[in-house]
């Protein structure tokens, strides 16, 4: 009797659990789906597909933010890009609907190191994996994101193809090389609203701001409204006549995706015709379009600025702030010192990205405009530059821009 009892205890506590765990682990291993990323240089990265199935193409970039994966994915500026996150632990706080920066995910793929489906956040509305599946986004985990990031840093941003089905490198590389290049797409026209609409129309503000939508983020509109402005979102095809017929007090040129040089030239001409007639605030893509209208040239950065920790120096007041950035292009600086560029408009002031000395801000009090290459609205990122939205309203009210102090 005692011998049978001991055998039973041994079987139930050691043999059965071990067998069950083994079968469970085996089942889990067999259910894993291998995914692949092939770069235009022929390099291949493998990972585990954990969201939608299929294949997609895009420019592969990396983002150094430690939080905010949902905001990054839903930022229209990532249209046709495959995003690599350098921070290794992703998914641990789930997804919160109100944190999305647009109505859908615009990225063409998602690459991470570790995915945590056991998220905990009382405010969450679901898991990141379910969100990606719903939006039909191909995502790979357990990928060597460190190696991929180092490669992009050394060789520059590259076109890539991500697939959870087709795994033959040669076939994928052939398909990739047959696709149009990233810089040939007018992506701002793809994401811009097709018709004008009022943002929270019931909240009448003291000023009426028109936002030309090149791919505007929700937090830009939210902060304008928070500063007691009525916000009219306009398609990038809006005419000057429509702008003035709405009796707008100021114009904000929003962020957006892709190469500004691919944008229709008539839109740049339209912005040029607005300069000096109405106060203008440009953000990221809008900053580039505004300066193109002033005759400056846009060039492609080696691997872009994508992250929430970029230091910015303002030469007017010697102040440095930390900014959120997401762009692959920059404005070409003319000859001269960092704070005073030859060939620039008289009275202009500047901000510089301290990491690589690229132009980060441009301000002109006389012409009543200012623009920044970074994202003062954050989302994700620091809130140190929120004050620019208030400055914009002061620029309108005073008909002059006041530098930060």
Q: Is 365 an annotated catalytic residue?
A: no
CA separation, residue 64 to residues 83, 106, 128, 255, 352 (Å):
11, 18, 18, 19, 20
- Tokens for 100, please give them: 């999305």
Specify the 3-state DSSP secondary structure of 380.
Answer: coil
375 part of the active site: yes
Distance (Å, rounded) from C-alpha 308 to C-alpha 139? 22
CB 260 within 8 A of CB 282: no
Euclidean distance between CA atoms 199 and 326, whole angstroms: 24
CA dihedral 274, 280, 284, 285 (to 10 degrees): -20
The answer to whether the CB of 69 falls within 8 A of the CB of 306 is: no
H helices present in 229-264, as ranges: 240-245
The residue from 310, 351, 377, 391 that is catalytic is: 377
3-state class percentages of the chain: helix first, strand second, coil last, to nearest 5: 30, 30, 40
C-alpha span between 316 and 334 (Å, rounded): 18
Q: Catalytic: which of 287, 327, 375, 391?
A: 375
Strand pairing category for 229-235 and 55-63: unpaired
- Identify the active-site residue in 99, 284, 305, 310: 284
Among 251, 229, 233, smallest CA distance to 102 is for 233
| Host H or E run for residue 314 | strand 298-314
DSSP-derived 3-state class of residue 221: helix
Exposed e or buried b per residue across 291-304, where buried means at least 16 C-beta atoms within 10 angstroms of its C-beta: bbbbebebeeeebb
Annotation says 327 is catalytic: no
Q: What angle do CA 368, 370, 376 make, to 5 degrees?
A: 140
Catalytic residue numbers, as ranges: 284, 375, 377
């Amino acid at each position: 009797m005692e011998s049978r009892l001991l055998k039973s205890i041994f079987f139930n506590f050691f043999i059965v659990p071990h067998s069950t765990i083994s079968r469970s682990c085996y089942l889990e291993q067999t259910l894993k789906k291998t995914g692949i990323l092939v770069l235009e240089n022929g390099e291949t990265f493998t990972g585990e597909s954990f969201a939608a199935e299929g294949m997609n193409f895009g420019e592969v970039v990396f983002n150094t933010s430690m939080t905010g994966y949902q905001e990054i994915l839903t930022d229209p500026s990532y249209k046709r890009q495959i995003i690599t996150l350098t921070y290794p632990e992703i998914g641990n706080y789930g997804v919160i609907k109100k944190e999305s920066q647009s109505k859908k995910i615009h990225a063409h793929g998602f690459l991470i190191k570790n995915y945590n489906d056991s998220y905990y956040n009382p405010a969450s509305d679901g898991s990141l994996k379910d969100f990606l599946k719903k939006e039909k986004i191909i995502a790979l985990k357990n990928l060597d994101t460190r190696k991929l990031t180092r490669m992009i840093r050394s060789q520059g941003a590259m076109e890539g193809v991500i697939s959870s089905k087709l795994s033959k490198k040669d076939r994928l590389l052939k398909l990739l090389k047959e696709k149009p290049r990233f810089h040939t797409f007018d992506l701002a026209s793809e994401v811009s609203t097709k018709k004008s609409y009022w943002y929270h129309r019931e909240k009448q503000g003291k000023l009426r701001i028109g936002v030309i939508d090149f791919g505007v983020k929700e937090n830009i509109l939210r902060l304008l409204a928070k500063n007691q402005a009525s916000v009219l979102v306009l398609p990038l095809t809006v005419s000057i006549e429509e702008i003035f017929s709405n009796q707008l007090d100021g114009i904000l040129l929003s962020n957006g995706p892709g190469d500004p040089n691919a944008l229709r030239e008539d839109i740049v001409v339209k912005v040029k015709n607005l300069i000096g007639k109405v106060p203008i605030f440009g953000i990221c893509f809008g900053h580039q379009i505004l300066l193109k209208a002033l005759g400056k040239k846009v060039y492609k950065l080696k691997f872009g600025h994508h992250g929430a920790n970029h230091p910015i120096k303002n030469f007017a007041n010697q102040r440095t702030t930390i900014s959120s950035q997401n762009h692959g292009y920059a404005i070409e600086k003319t000859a001269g010192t960092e704070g005073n560029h030859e060939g620039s408009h008289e009275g202009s002031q500047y901000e510089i990205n301290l990491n690589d000395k690229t132009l980060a801000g441009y301000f002109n009090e006389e012409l009543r405009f200012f623009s920044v290459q970074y994202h003062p609205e954050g989302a994700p990122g620091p809130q140190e530059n929120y004050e620019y939205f208030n400055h914009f309203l002061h620029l309108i009210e005073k008909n002059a821009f006041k530098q930060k102090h």
